[in-house]
Amino acid sequence: MNILVCSSLYPNNIWPQHGVFIKERMAHFSKTTGHALKVVAPVPYYPPIKLGSRWLYSQVRRRELLDGIEVYHPRYVIVPKIGMTTYGLSMFLSLLACARNIRRHFDFDLIDAHYVYPDGFAAVLLGLVLGKPVVVSARGSDINLYARMPLIRPLLRFTLRRAAHVVAVSEALKGVMVRLGISPDHSSVIPNGVDARKFSPVPQSEARSRLGLPDGTYLLSVGNLTENKGFHLLLQALHVLRTRHHLTQLGLLIVGDGPLRGELERLCERLDLADQVRFAGRVSHEELHVWYSAADLFCLASGREGWPNVLMEAMACGLPIVATRVGGIPEIVSSEAVGLLARRETQDLVQTILSALQRPWRTDLLRQRAAGFAWSHVTDRLATTFEAACQRPDPLTRKAA
């Protein structure tokens, strides 16, 4: 089977960690099943003028090879102030020209789209024009957030109903889509996987030596520095733990970057935490296991989530978890043998972190839980889903689900 993957959430030469979970899924799928892939990962058009950070879009290569997979980066136009309602159509036009060119030497059987809007919407239009079935994967905010937007909600429904099949990364996300009106039989839950060879622990003393960390107890959080990820709540919790509970050896490691970094650094100063918090910035996927190995507890204070891979990566490295009870998180942290769940507010995070730091944890049980999410399980289910989608009626003639 030949598959064309469509997603703007795919790594490139400028942002190699962007959407790395999609690259991991599809690279493992191709290697395991032998199905051939090509990827179309559109990026917004921006002129090569050094004004702000968006000019870097102009530096993304038009074509590149990642993990042996050919990736194309056509440009699509985003118009300021008009808003997201035009993004799907603009992305479709860029996909159409690129896909027609690809089809001359790679006659794909199916389109695999990630992120329901605008990517999935554009891919469904592409499938209708080219007569190809489309499988759309919902990731999280594309449903949890965009479904609240009155102008985007109808576009989500169109995409979900016109796709040959819809994949949700968690039961919680599937439930939201069913409430949007799609049939439960029209969707499957296939979570992301984790590579236990890449995410395997090293001795904590070795990891801390490599990172230059002094003795102490360390919390770790990994993610984009946005309000949704709740790093401000972790900083407030750290302040309370150090001042009211006298955990003066407790520190916080933050891996990731994003628009709130400056604000978070200023919050550290106000809370007198500048020496206890380390902002590591972006870390390559290949080096993340060292950070997991160096820490004592992984913390995630998100307000919304689909299926956060960082939790599986932490468990694969033997690191216990404290996380908020949102989205697919309870499906990952399904037992107190691997972690504890908290409400998304400072005091409950403080109490839950205290309990977790005082509890003995078994590394073997954590790694055993992570092993249940091996990529081989994921790719087998994906292959079955894709094969079934190709047997459905032609997308130009079938009725919406």
pLDDT for the residue numbered 400? 46
pLDDT > 70? residue 398: no
pLDDT > 70? residue 281: yes
pLDDT for the residue numbered 275? 94
Q: Where are the domains of the chain?
A: 2-193+376-391, 204-371
The CATH architecture one would assign to domain 2-193+376-391 is 3-Layer(aba) Sandwich (3.40)
Residue spans of alpha helices (H) in 212-341: 231-243, 261-270, 288-294, 309-316, 329-332
**Confidence band for 394, pLDDT divided at 50, 70 and 90:** low
pLDDT > 60? residue 401: no
Q: Does domain 204-371 have CATH number 3.40.50.2000?
A: yes
Query: Six-digit token pair at 96?
Result: 């159409």
Lowest mean pLDDT among 72-76, 181-185, 190-194, 288-292: 181-185
Query: Six-digit token pair at 289?
Result: 């296991």
| % of the chain beyond a pLDDT of 90 | 80
| % of the chain beyond a pLDDT of 70 | 97
pLDDT > 50? residue 396: no
Mean pLDDT over each residue of the chain, to the nearest integer: 92
pLDDT tens column, 50-59? 887 788 999 9
pLDDT tens column, 319-359? 999 999 999 999 999 999 999 999 999 999 999 999 999 99
Between residues 140 and 255, the one the model is more confident about: 255
pLDDT for the residue numbered 82? 67
Cβ count near 275 (within 10 Å): 8
pLDDT for the residue numbered 17? 85
Mean pLDDT for the stretch of residues 364-370: 95
pLDDT > 70? residue 361: yes
Mean pLDDT for the stretch of residues 250-264: 96
| DSSP per residue, 148-203 | G-TTTHHHHHHHHHHSSEEEESSHHHHHHHHHTT--GGGEEE----B-TTTS----
Query: Six-digit token pair at 261?
Result: 């970094």
Q: Which residues pair with 191 in a beta bridge?
A: none
pLDDT > 70? residue 108: yes
Q: Which residues pair with 194 in a beta bridge?
A: 374
Q: CATH topology of 2-193+376-391 equal to that of 204-371?
A: yes
Residue 256 DSSP symbol: B
pLDDT for the residue numbered 49? 87
**Confidence band for 79, pLDDT divided at 50, 70 and 90:** confident
pLDDT for the residue numbered 377? 86
